[in-house]
A and B are shown apart, each in its own frame.
Chain A
Amino acid sequence: MADDLQTITGHRGLVMEEPLIFEQDAPGRTAVDLPEPPDVADRLGSAVREGPIGLPGLSEPQVIRHYLRLSQKNFSIDAGMYPLGSCTMKHNPRINEKLARLPGLAGIHPLQPQSTVQGAFELMAVTAEWLTTLTGMAGVAMSPAAGAHGELTGLMTIRAALEAAGNARKRVLVPESAHGTNPASAHMCGYSVESIPADERGRVDLAAFKENLTDDVAAIMITNPNTCGLFENEIIQIAEAAHAVGAYVYCDGANFNAIVGRVRPGDLGIDCMHLNLHKTFSTPHGGGGPGAGPVVLSEALMPFAPLPYVIREGEGFRLVEHAEDGDGAPYGRMKGFHGQFGVFVRALAYMMSMGADGLRQASSDAVLNANYLLARLSDLLTLPFPGPCMHEVLFDDHFLHGTGVTTLDFAKAMIDEGFHPMTMYFPLVVHGALLMEPTETESKETLDQFIMTIRSLAERARDGEVDHFKQAPRLTPWRRLDETTAARSPVLRWRPDLPQAAE
């Protein structure tokens, strides 16, 4: 192996070293040829900028190279299997991108006269209809920008309904396996958060739940399928108990991909649930967004949904932007304008492409793939809760005990093998969690290669090859990065006086 070859440039074949844009500055250079501004007497008043900003000047080829070289340092679903549990890293069809760029969709302004954007309202309404049909719910608040924003929207809707009934209540019950956004959203909605333990089956402990369920509980936030990859099989009893004391059932729909077309949350007693369009409905994750988190709602909650919303009126559509223009009692507004419209376009393109049959097939395949991993790995890895699982499978780090290898080491060794690691250390209910979500995207061949890799790694760990893991990753352009130093003395921006790129 020639992997210790030192090159003169620092580049290594196709992997190019790339300095910061600030280190490539040629003052005065620009990649955009703009016309000379007409000479006018300015109307800026006295608050004008003085002195340079400090932005670097690059040429167009330099900029293209810069971002192309950066892109080559990313793992992506386009490049390989990305079994990041809870994130549904499925294939992102390019037809979605093409359609989102149609001038009639990308080039319209949210405050144009409503008569000039009827097609956009239609697109929102049709998307909403697909979502309410798939979930079996009465309606949907389309404006939330992501899952967490949807949680906040759902809880605020619940709070508004409770306030209208005379008492906002005080507490929200959140299973300990819940994603961190759940308690954070409950707090932002003014509730105190109470954690409900999981039982030995990895589900909400029904007895503990009932014990905590008093008439000052506003809602339980349940995730179903839950973050252990398991269906909450007592969901109907949970919902009945909650409803009996006048509490609502919020469902975190991050894992909806497991049940699309097979189970409607509305049939499970759920009052309110967000959907992550960037997970279940194939819109790209974009390196951390944008997403969209529409919230489907029951009949009882619909009147309190936030502004704005689209209604059908005669032959056309109308956007209700102010409380006085509609029948409901909206509690407020979550976002500027009308929601993540560009994400709706992509999600609708996906739903239309898949159709009722394809969506059901996708969830079936996602569940099949996860159970295949479970079946082929559970003799070597440790399974905290027995299957079948839904669309993701949770292992814990028992199989690593005594080997000196941690979950993190194990994950880094997967990187050398060309896989993105699974989600680690989440959910918190098991020690050293490894949560794998293959999605329907992966073929049996890819899964078999993945399984073979994981099995070999597990055996190497058991055989005491600790060094292999501690050194990993070795084949990436960067080795393990020092997160402690990054946090202890944060450097969050480039400054001219900082040390330059390593030569």
Chain B
Amino acid sequence: MLAAIGADSIEELFKDVPAAALLDEAMALPPHAGELEVERAISVMADKNLHAGAVPFFLGAGNYRHHIPASADHLIQRGEFLTAYTPYQPEVSQGTLQAVFEFQTQVALITDMEVANASLYDGATACSEGAMMACRVTRRSKVILSGSVHPHYGEVTRTNAQFMDLQVETLPADPFGSEDLAGHLDENTACVVVQNPGFFGQIRDYTELAQACHDAGALLVMVVNEVVSLGLVKAPGAMGADIVAAEGQSLGNPLTFGGPHVGLFAVRERLLRQMPGRLAGETVDEDGKRGWVLTLSTREQHIRREKATSNICTNSGLCALAFTIHLTLLGEAGFTRLAKLNHAKAVQLADRLDVLEGVEVINDTFFNEFTLRLAKPAAAVVEALAERNILAGVPVSRLLPSDGTLDNLLLVAATETTKDADVDTLCTGLAEVL
């Protein structure tokens, strides 16, 4: 090959690199290794972790343990899905494109919105994109962030807003779901961002807030970080939300230490042109046969550069595929049953915990996660339980450390994977450490 190129050595091909920067030997890193050795080395790290399947497990806070059907994980590993890229050539990408079109439809249906995109990175970045989009649509610069929103989602939104000259008014954490949001609306408010069920688990009907937002010329952005709730809880669209930003991990995607996950993003049709992210749309080929293409790319960076609605390019394709396969397996009957099962498990858990000495369930409403007020700081309780091989929940102070009033609060989640014996173990453990 070198002869065909007319070079004497590989080194000659690197002649444009400044000589001082060229390394002439391999770096001080380990040499190549076979599968067996690599598997061993990485398994050693994996074995140091206490994983959800091994112990009673009650964590949520935006990342939920659900059962993933074997066929979903099998199908996403087909090389034709796994090792393809963005469907730029529609004639040889109809598999991905049709799956994206179905995904968009499913997301629109469960959120009760008109259109959804092909995915964003995760729920937190979707939340931020939603707030930014509301500012573009309304040409206003203030975002009101409810105390119901996941703290990471709030942090990401504030991080992005600070460089765009947008103001984010963050309301205090709202464990009781009792904050008044409409009172904060003014003529410069682009949107109110709420989460339902809230970070503390409360479920609210935001229909009136949506109306108040619209009366003030603002939009309502609704975050959902447990999508399974949409099988039972009134959908954002039915409440009048204009933009929905959700985390889709619960369907098809394992915990994986918080990523990669999949951001769902759905809007009202009239806002379509300001939407970030890719979209698959229906069309026909030269023979009149129905097919799909990426469309409305004049919103996107590769056409519009700095005037694009977002810089996003690679998104969460395979996670979105896992989501859509899982939801297809479930169907209407399975999805609503999964939601009921999650809720029922959580109600049973709450009833068991509420009667323990030093434990109080503070929610009047919840889906599959709720907040406990403990007699002691929750972080220490969780550590003590972890020593007994119980992963008891997420101390609110882990995410909101500066607000001392929340130190005794513990988020606890149950899903279809929660076993009765795990609940017994948790109750016994809590009674011991409290």
Partners in one complex: yes
Given known pairs A50-B234, A342-B259, the reply for A45 and B295 (CB within 8 Å) is no
Given known pairs A119-B49, A233-B17, the reply for A493 and B337 (CB within 8 Å) is no
B348 within 8 A of A: yes
A82 within 8 A of B: yes
CB pair B343 A115 closer than 8 Å: no
Partner pick for B125 among A34, A35, A111, A335, CB 8 A cutoff: A335
A501 within 8 A of B: yes
Partner pick for A188 among B2, B73, B163, CB 8 A cutoff: B163
Residues of A within 8 A of B84 (CB): 74-77, 285-287
CB pair A45 B364 closer than 8 Å: yes
A48 within 8 A of B: yes
Residues of B within 8 A of A356 (CB): 26-31
CB pair A353 B38 closer than 8 Å: yes
A58 to B262 Cα, complex, angstroms: 24
Partner pick for A56 among B291, B328, B341, CB 8 A cutoff: B328
- Chain A nearest CB: distance from B35 CB in Å? 5
Of the candidates B48, B54, B302, the one having the most CB atoms from chain A within 10 angstroms of its own CB is: B48
Residues of A within 8 A of B62 (CB): 336-337
CB pair A97 B77 closer than 8 Å: yes
Please report which residues of chain A, range 4-52, place their CB below 8 angstroms from some CB of chain B when the two chains form the complex. 18, 20-22, 25, 27-32, 34-35, 37-50, 52
CB pair B159 A332 closer than 8 Å: yes
CB pair B16 A230 closer than 8 Å: yes
CB pair B99 A490 closer than 8 Å: no
**20 contacts across the A-B interface (CB closer than 8 A):** A31-B71, A34-B334, A53-B335, A58-B331, A84-B85, A84-B88, A106-B254, A108-B256, A116-B391, A180-B308, A262-B23, A276-B314, A285-B84, A286-B318, A288-B85, A355-B32, A371-B13, A372-B5, A478-B285, A493-B116
Please report which residues of chain B, range 42-93, place their CB below 8 angstroms from some CB of chain A when the two chains form the complex. 42-54, 57, 59, 61-63, 65, 69, 71, 73, 75-93
A183 within 8 A of B: yes
Given A70-B99, A337-B122, A367-B14, 5 additional A-B pairs, CB 8 A: A67-B325, A109-B52, A181-B301, A290-B260, A290-B319
CB pair A336 B153 closer than 8 Å: yes
> Majority SS of interface residues in chain A?
loop
Given known pairs A55-B332, A120-B49, A188-B163, the reply for A494 and B317 (CB within 8 Å) is no
Partner pick for B121 among A79, A117, A335, A486, CB 8 A cutoff: A335
A375 within 8 A of B: yes
A41 to B347 Cα, complex, angstroms: 8
A400 to B13 Cα, complex, angstroms: 28
A492 to B313 Cα, complex, angstroms: 19
CB pair A287 B344 closer than 8 Å: no
Partner pick for A57 among B30, B118, B331, CB 8 A cutoff: B331
Partner pick for B35 among A95, A357, A444, CB 8 A cutoff: A95
CB pair B331 A342 closer than 8 Å: no
B296 within 8 A of A: yes
A369 to B2 Cα, complex, angstroms: 10
CB pair B315 A21 closer than 8 Å: no
> Which chain A residue shows the least CB distance to B44?
A119
A134 to B26 Cα, complex, angstroms: 10
> Which chain A residue shows the least CB distance to B325?
A67
- Chain B nearest CB: distance from A136 CB in Å? 9
CB pair B31 A355 closer than 8 Å: yes
CB pair A290 B317 closer than 8 Å: yes
A368 within 8 A of B: yes
- Chain A nearest CB: distance from B52 CB in Å? 5
Interface residues on chain A, number (Cβ under 8 Å): 198
B210 within 8 A of A: no
A244 within 8 A of B: no
Residues of A within 8 A of B91 (CB): 412, 415, 473, 476-481
CB pair A483 B334 closer than 8 Å: no
CB pair A233 B285 closer than 8 Å: no
A57 to B239 Cα, complex, angstroms: 26
Of the candidates B32, B92, B279, the one having the most CB atoms from chain A within 10 angstroms of its own CB is: B92
Per-residue interface assignment for chain A, residues 281 to 319, with 1 indicating a CB less than 8 Å from any chain B CB and 0 otherwise: 000111111111000000000000011000000000000
Partner pick for A322 among B109, B341, B401, CB 8 A cutoff: B401
A380 within 8 A of B: no
Partner pick for A32 among B34, B99, B293, B334, CB 8 A cutoff: B334
Which of B100-108, B140-148, B181-189, B211-219 touches A? B100-108
Given known pairs A37-B344, A368-B13, the reply for A336 and B152 (CB within 8 Å) is yes
A290 to B259 Cα, complex, angstroms: 9
CB pair A30 B159 closer than 8 Å: no
CB pair A185 B311 closer than 8 Å: yes
CB pair B86 A482 closer than 8 Å: no
A411 within 8 A of B: yes
CB pair B311 A148 closer than 8 Å: yes
A452 within 8 A of B: no
A371 to B37 Cα, complex, angstroms: 34
A67 to B78 Cα, complex, angstroms: 9
Given known pairs A148-B314, A231-B16, A284-B318, the reply for A263 and B21 (CB within 8 Å) is yes
